[in-house]
Amino acid sequence: MSTARLLRLITRTGRVAEPLEPPADGAFVVREGFDVPPALRGSAQVRHVDAGSCNGCEIEVGAAFGPVYDAERVGARLVASPRHADVVAVTGVVTQNMAEPLRNTVDATPNPRVLVSIGDCTRGCGLFAGSYAVAGSVDDVVQVDVHVPGCPPDPRAIVAALRAVTGR
């Protein structure tokens, strides 16, 4: 695409981000007795782990960080390494092969950290319950702090959960 055409596209498109709405009731569930660490106010880097998802939740996570729902404006950003992260976002059931990597990822994340589980599969395994390939739900493997229900969850709910962490 030529520079002039791209420039025209940019001016014609303008801002595609939707206005930030207050979270809907039940958009996310916080573990009892969990307080968001004050150090993470205003800024939270997110490491996303797919522990055995059908990729439905991945599309929604991608949308949450895309231009329309723009989770970056609440201070959350996807990063490439758990060592850079404050939030570990897990999607899907935990397969036999991903149980150990998931534990390692959480251990590699510096404290204070928050564990966010996204989607119904992370609580109760959903459609995949009882499969020979499944080690359990995310709750069985690591302690989850914030849960976003839905199959798949609305990107707005994911942004709302991250917003609860950053407080912006």
Pairing label, strands 114-118, 146-148: parallel
Q: Which DSSP category does 37 fall into?
A: -
Least CB distance to other proteins at residue 38 (A): 10
46-79 as b/e, with b when 16 or more CB fall inside 10 Å? Answer: bbbbbbbbbebbbebbebbbeeebbbbebbbbbe
29 and 155 Cβ atoms separated by less than 8 Å:
no
Least CB distance to other proteins at residue 91 (A): 16
C-beta closer to other proteins: residue 23 or 84: 84
C-beta closer to other proteins: residue 60 or 120: 60
Contact residues: other proteins, CB under 8 A: 3, 6, 10, 13-17, 39-40, 42-43, 45, 67, 70, 72-75, 77-84, 86, 107-112
Least CB distance to other proteins at residue 74 (A): 8
* Prior bond of 23 cis (ω within 30°): no
C-beta closer to other proteins: residue 124 or 167: 167
Least CB distance to other proteins at residue 152 (A): 21
